[in-house]
Every structure is written in structure tokens, then in C-alpha cells.
Structure 1
Amino acid sequence: MRTRQPLIGVLLVSLLGVVPSALGEEKKTSAGPPNFQDDIKPILREHCLSCHGDDTQEAGINLQSFQALMRGGSAGKIVVAGRASQSILFKAITNEDENARMPPSSPPLADAKIELIHKWIDSGLRASATSKSMVKERDIAFKPVSNAGSKPKGPPAMPENLPDVKVPNVTRPLPVLAMDTSPWAPLLAVSGQGHVKLLRTDSKAEIGRLAFPEGVPHVIRFSRDGSVLMVGGGRPVVSGHVVLFDVKTGKRLAKIGDEVDAVLAADLSPDQRLVALGGSGRTVKVFSTTDGAQKHKLTKHTDWITAIAFSPDGTKLASADRAGGIHLWDAQAGGILLNLAEHKGAVRSLDWRSDGKLLASTGEDGKVIWWDVTDGFPAITKSNAHPPRRTPGTYGEVPNGVLAGRFDREGNLVTAGRDRVVKTWTPKGEQKQAFNIDSGIPISSAVSHDSQVVFGGTSEGEVKSWDVKK
């Protein structure tokens, strides 16, 4: 005998248009990328519409339909296509504070449902299975520009007959806090106690040293044409300066700034007319290199400045801080252009790709991000770029910070992490190689001018090097 459908089911179907799946059978998700109609609305109907539906709209938010959700609420948009981490809706359902997490007075949503909402937002907020992604297409392919790096007309600068520098005797080597390579010559500059050591990138032989009596170098940068070396640092809670050196002769060209603490971040503009610096004062100061006058004082940061970088064309200035904030400035006028919000821990490095399309940032939260600087969108994100390794006897949370990141001229990125690994990444963000360090932690990185050799400076004062596969 055929089983009859319960009368209540028949009435609900006829009167309310409720399909059998809504009476108990779990709705299946779509086969393709998640979409609102098939995947997200069933979750919202079960957990959210009593407070955020057509009848009631707490905080002005209506999640009953795709159109209403996209309108947002009284505080503005609640979803950002491609960025779940910056979407109010996703933040609300993943808030660690149970008093602030949605839905209220309820257990957290199941991990599978949270992951589905995350994928829906990141894949482009599709309304239905036939809808297109709302994440705009981006051309981030690396295309070298004709004047990338401002190649010098004559032979690239190399040190010649540098004066002798007396190196202090130390019981323990200073960690290699900073290093950089000349963009056009086989030359590596490495930080030391009261000096900078210069090495050949091919033979690794020492060429000479530059005295830095100002204290400890925290940042080292070659100019785009390789003729000038910028060194920033100082003495903690005493003084901080940036010094410009002539690479060929070792002559001091300029001394910039007069800080009351060590300079922790700095960069020299491509035309060598500006120096930007920062540190514990939480401000970015921009100075003229010709007369030392302060041009701009940028005050949006809420914590110590940890990284600064001019764009290859000199029109933009990026700065980062210990709280995870990154700001993009107009380098000439000093006005703010964009806030780049994604890192949840201290940002340890910033570097521009030579074509100026992307800015790379690395942080203590374990992320490596390639930013599209046209609108501040994270074009590529590696959330766990250097997975932590738990050694015997280690307890609690193992840090997975990424401490350094530098581009080569071909758009490849080199990163160094607390996992004691130095990695190389393609312009598309795909990992190429990984180099392990036996002792110490790599805290600085660099790439030779011909992209053949990768360098890592360790917490134990050693400079490691590896050949790169093509």
C-alpha cells in the first residue's frame, strides 16, 4: 500500500509553498562555487532571519534576499566581495567574544557553514548558480618596464679602496638585522655592530666595511641605480639617524633626521631626493636629502613603524606598523591614499615589485600578501606561508611569523620565517624553493642582482646563501 503524505505536510505545501526539503530533508549545496540562493540562504533562514528578515531588521540589516543583503545595514556594507576577513557578516559569525558573536545566545555556527560563507564571500558573492563573480578581474602578471631600477649608464658602482674600519670586539655576534643587494652589481651589504659589511655576491668574499658610529643599522637599502647606500638605525632610547654613503668611495653624503630613538624603518626615493623614516614614535617623517628639511609628517599609525618603502616610480610611499596597519601615501604631497587592512600582527617587511603593480607585506601573523595598489585589494594571500615546526620540548602555541620579504627584478619573492626556512615564490604566488637553516632564525633576506643567489641573515649573526633554480 502506498504511504500517504501527512496532512500537515500537504497543507503547508499548498498554502505556503514549502517544498519537502524544508520539512526536514537537508538542502544540498550547489556543485560549483557557492551561491546565495542554493548555499547561503538556507543557513541564514535557519539562524538569522528571525532578527534580520523582512519582518525585523536589527541594526537595519535584512538578510531575507540577496538584494537586501547587498544593501547592508545602518553601518554600511556587510560583505566585501573577495574579502571575507573584512566583511562584517563574517566577522560577526566568527567573533571570539560570545557576547558579540552572531547569532546571539546560541552556539557558534558549525565549521562547515562558516567555511561555506567564507568561500561564498571570497569567491565573489554569487547570487545564483548562473551568476558571475563580483570580484573584479585583475591583471597582476609581471611585466618588466624599460627603466626598471634605473640602470646606470656606465659600469655599476662597486667599492674601491674603502678606508679601514675598526670593528668592535663582541662576545656574541649581532643578529643580521638588515641586508640588501645592489640592483646592478655583485654586491651585498650586511648590518654589523657599528658598521656595514660589504661582500661580493658571487665569491662571498669581503670587500670592505662602512663605519656607522651612530649605532646599530636596522635598515639597509641601495638606491635604484646602485650608486648610493642608505643605512638607518641608531641607539635605542638615545638617538636615531639615516646616513647616505657613496658606494664607490664609501664617503658619507648626508645624515638625515635627529630622532630620540633608533630608526627602525626607512627608504630612499628613486630620485634620491627624499628619505622617509620611522620608529617607536609612531610617525613617518619625510625629509629632503639636499638640505635635511622635513617635508611631511604622517601620523595615521597607532604603533611603532616597522617598514617603509617608496614605489619604483617614486609617486607612492608605503608604511607599516607593529599593530598590523599598512598605509599608502602620496609621496610628494603627503596625503593618504589607501589603508591596507588584512594583517592581524606586526608587519615585518614591505617591498614593491619592480613594475610597481604589487606591494608585498609579511607579518607575525604568518601571512604573506601581494597587494594590488590600484585599490588596496590583496591580490594574493598566503595565510600560513611558513607553517611552524614544533620541536621536541616545545609547548603552547608555536609562532609562525614571516620576518622578511624581498622581490628580485623578475618578480619573484624571497621570504624568511620563524620556521627557520627561507622560501622563494613565483610572480603568481606559487612556492618555488625552500631552504632550511640549522641554527638560529632567518630575520633578513636578499637576492643577488642576477637573481642567481638568495641570502638569509640569521639571529646568530650568520649570512647564509643558496643557489636559485631557474
Structure 2
Amino acid sequence: MSVASPSHRWLSRRCLILAAGLVATSAMAQDNEKLTYDDHIRPLLENKCFSCHNPDKKKGGLELTSYSGLMNGGSGGAVVDAGNPQASRLWTCSAKKEEPYMPPEGAPLEAKDLALLSKWIAGGVLQAKGSLAKKSNRPKVDLTFAGGSGKPTGPVARPENILLEPVIVTPRTSAVTAMAASPWTSLLAVAGQKQILLYDTDSRELAGILPYPEGYARSLKFSANGSLLVMGGGRGGKIGHAIVWDVKTGKRVTEIGKEFDQVMSADISPDHRKVVLATNAKKVKCFDVATGEQLYLISKHTEWVTGAQFSPDGILLATSDRNG
């Protein structure tokens, strides 16, 4: 029986340490490797998505065989939001966190593939190794203005120097699909064609215009302190979401949801931290305003959900559907 000499044992230990170091370095290199559409995402999508989302088919208006096609999105809008997987429909639908689930048939993406897709989106949706990371198009939501459920402590929000020229003028008026009155001042919001009109109810004069070129409003609601106006709407069979405007400036604060059909109703919680959507897909979805992440889903309805509203304290949520 032979016994290794001290020098051999020292050499063996050194080899083991060196090997472990190489493995760790390799793992770190893989972890720090730039994920790109060309090298990682296109091969991942090829087996699961290309049969439906190619230049000839473009199901849902979405083509995934090229980087430009993916970034252009589909008929329902963008499918990736750089830096934010939770707000990217390419990931949420693939991870079965949002309908329609993708792929609709066959085995879903494996956990490692979903992790890869999420990391690519979080890393700025690079096309190639030499590409620059893109930034999110989502507005940064400042929640410092979020007041309580009662009357604001400062001045009541009213339009100041916002657009007064109508986005569209027609020879005939159309049906009013939604209205809302401010809880604290003489201000009325009225849904028009591709715009929301704000009227002073005392003077009956136009106080402002909020452009909405994407479609038509199905619901309008002021926030509890009157500083925000939230709209649920879209375009039938094409797009649906909630838009939140700052009443004072007329600027969009955020856009929530990416539905494939119009949203029937939307509401914002008293603390301005959550927005709920009622859809004709028989679903109720609640989102975090700051991140756009879906917080929960209610699938109990058996018909179009036509209404959703938070209680004054924000603790309860009431919903209604076409079944009555």
C-alpha cells in the first residue's frame, strides 16, 4: 500500500482549489453573460411560438421571428416592457399569469426558459451583444401625492392650463358612454370620441380635454381625493386598459393592463396604489400602480364583468356582471 507524499497531497489540494475556482469563474461568467434576442431568445421561441407568430400568420398581429417584429408588438400593443418582466405580456402569458396562456396548446415553457426570458427582459431586451439596453416606456409613478380617502388637505385639484382644443370634432354628437363627477369641486368628466371632456358644472364651460386616441371610454371615476381621473376602455376586439390622468395637469400618470378587448370598468384605490379592471373575459384583475404587476385575479364571474369599485376605505372590492 503506497502513501502519497506531502508534496503530492499539497499538489492535489491545489488542483482541487484551482478546479473549484474555474467552476466558480465559469458560473459567474454565465451569470454575467449578456442575454440577447439573437443568441438566446429567438432559439427559445422558435419551437413554441413561430408556428403561429411568423410573417405569414402573425396571429394576433404579432410576429416573433425577428427582433423588430417582437418589439413592434401585436394588435393589442407592446408585448415587452424593457426592464419589467411583470408588465410584459410575452412573459406573463408564457408564465400563465395572464390570459391568453401561451402557447395555447402543448407543453408550456419550462421554468429555466421562463427564467431566461425574464432575465432578458429585465436586462433591457438586447438584440445582440453590441446592443444598448432599452429603458422602460412606462411612466414613473410618483405616489407621494397619494392622499387619504377624505378631502385633500391642500387645494382641490382642478384643470390648470391644459388642452382646450377638441381632439376630434364631428357634425353629430355620439352617445355618452361614461361620466364622473369630482367629489370635491364643480368638475364633470364626460366620455367623448377619442377624448375625455372636463366641464365646470357651475359655469357649464369646457375646462379641459384629455386626449384618448386609442379608443373609447367605458367607465370614468375620480379618485377619492379628486386629484386623479381613471378611465377603463379601449377598442372592441383590439385593446383594453385603464388610463390614469392627473386632473390638474392633464398629463397621463400611468397605463394599466394590456387586454385584447376593451375594459368595461376600472377604479383606483383611495391610496392610489391599486387599480382594478373589469373585463368582458369574465375576469377581474387588480394591479400595483407603481410596478404594473398583477396582484390578483378573480375568475368567479360567468359573464362579462361590467363593474368594479373599491369601498371608500379601500378594504373591500365590489364587482358586477351581465348576469345581474
Q: Which bracket does the TM-score occupy, shorter chain normalised? A: 0.5 to 0.7
Partner of 1:277: 277
Displacement, 1:285? 0.4
Displacement, 1:232? 1.3
Q: Could you tell me which amino acid in structure 2 is paired with residue 159 of structure 1?
A: P
Partner of 2:264: 264
Displacement, 1:190? 0.4
* Contact 1:197/1:208 (<8 A) preserved: yes
Partner of 2:202: 202
* Contact 2:178/2:191 (<8 A) preserved: yes
Partner of 2:104: none
Partner of 1:315: 315
2:153 corresponds to 1:175: no
Q: Distance in 1 between matches of 2:233 and 2:323?
A: 21
Displacement, 1:204? 1.0
Q: Distance in 1 between matches of 2:230 and 2:260?
A: 19
Partner of 2:217: 217
Displacement, 1:167? 2.4
Q: Could you tell me which amino acid in structure 2 is paired with residue 293 of structure 1?
A: E
2:191 corresponds to 1:186: no
Q: Could you tell me which amino acid in structure 1 is paired with residue 189 of structure 2?
A: A
Q: Distance in 1 between matches of 2:206 and 2:297?
A: 39
* Contact 1:149/1:183 (<8 A) preserved: no
Q: Distance in 2 between matches of 1:174 and 1:166?
A: 14
Partner of 1:227: 227
* Contact 2:194/2:214 (<8 A) preserved: yes
More contact order relative to length (CA 8 Å, sep ≥ 6): 2
Q: Distance in 1 between matches of 2:148 and 2:273?
A: 18
* Contact 1:228/1:244 (<8 A) preserved: yes
Name the TM-score, length of structure 2 as normaliser.
0.53
Q: Distance in 2 between matches of 1:192 and 1:273?
A: 27
Q: Distance in 1 between matches of 2:184 and 2:208?
A: 18
Displacement, 1:166? 4.2
Q: Distance in 2 between matches of 1:282 and 1:190?
A: 26
Q: Deviations 1:184-227 (Å, cap 9, x if unpaired)?
A: 11111100000000001111111110001221011101000011
Alignment size in residue pairs: 178
Q: Distance in 2 between matches of 1:210 and 1:302?
A: 34
Q: Distance in 2 between matches of 1:320 and 1:232?
A: 15
SS at structure 1 position matched to 2:307: strand
What are the equivalent positions in structure 2 for 1:428-467 lying under 5 Å apart?
none
SS at structure 1 position matched to 2:280: coil
Q: Distance in 1 between matches of 2:237 and 2:218?
A: 14
Q: Distance in 1 between matches of 2:219 and 2:243?
A: 11
2:301 corresponds to 1:301: yes
Q: Distance in 2 between matches of 1:220 and 1:304?
A: 18
Displacement, 1:170? 2.8
* Contact 1:148/1:312 (<8 A) preserved: no
Q: Deviations 1:364-394 (Å, cap 9, x if unpaired)?
A: xxxxxxxxxxxxxxxxxxxxxxxxxxxxxxx
- From the CA coordinates, give the structure whose radius of gyration is larger: 1
Q: Distance in 2 between matches of 1:170 and 1:302?
A: 38
Q: Distance in 1 between matches of 2:317 and 2:207?
A: 32
Normalized per residue, which structure has more strand?
1
Identical-residue share of aligned pairs (%): 46
Q: Distance in 1 between matches of 2:245 and 2:171?
A: 28
Q: Distance in 2 between matches of 1:260 and 1:165?
A: 30
* Contact 2:164/2:207 (<8 A) preserved: no
Q: Could you tell me which amino acid in structure 1 is paired with residue 318 of structure 2?
A: A
Where do 5+ consecutive residues of structure 1 fail to align?
Answer: 1-146, 325-470
Q: Could you tell me which amino acid in structure 2 is paired with residue 199 of structure 1?
A: Y
SS at structure 2 position matched to 1:169: coil
Q: Deviations 1:65-87 (Å, cap 9, x if unpaired)?
A: xxxxxxxxxxxxxxxxxxxxxxx
* Contact 1:278/1:305 (<8 A) preserved: yes
Q: Distance in 2 between matches of 1:305 and 1:265?
A: 8
Q: Distance in 2 between matches of 1:165 and 1:278?
A: 31
What are the equivalent positions in structure 2 for 1:20-59 lying under 5 Å apart?
none
SS at structure 2 position matched to 1:264: strand
Name the CA shift for 1:165/1:295 in 2 (closer, same or farther; >3 Å): farther
* Contact 2:270/2:312 (<8 A) preserved: yes
Name the TM-score, length of structure 1 as normaliser.
0.37
Q: Distance in 2 between matches of 1:149 and 1:173?
A: 36
* Contact 2:148/2:225 (<8 A) preserved: no
Displacement, 1:278? 1.5
Q: Distance in 1 between matches of 2:174 and 2:266?
A: 20
Q: Distance in 1 between matches of 2:268 and 2:214?
A: 18
Runs of 4+ in 1 over 3 A off after TM superposition: none
Q: Distance in 1 between matches of 2:156 and 2:310?
A: 22
Where do 5+ consecutive residues of structure 2 fail to align?
Answer: 1-146
Q: Distance in 1 between matches of 2:224 and 2:174?
A: 28
Name the CA shift for 1:270/1:290 in 2 (closer, same or farther; >3 Å): same
Pairwise CA RMSD: 1.5
Q: Deviations 1:77-117 (Å, cap 9, x if unpaired)?
A: xxxxxxxxxxxxxxxxxxxxxxxxxxxxxxxxxxxxxxxxx
* Contact 1:214/1:233 (<8 A) preserved: no
Q: Distance in 2 between matches of 1:170 and 1:234?
A: 20
* Contact 2:189/2:198 (<8 A) preserved: yes
* Contact 2:191/2:217 (<8 A) preserved: yes
What are the equivalent positions in structure 2 for 1:287-366 lying under 5 Å apart?
287-324=287-324
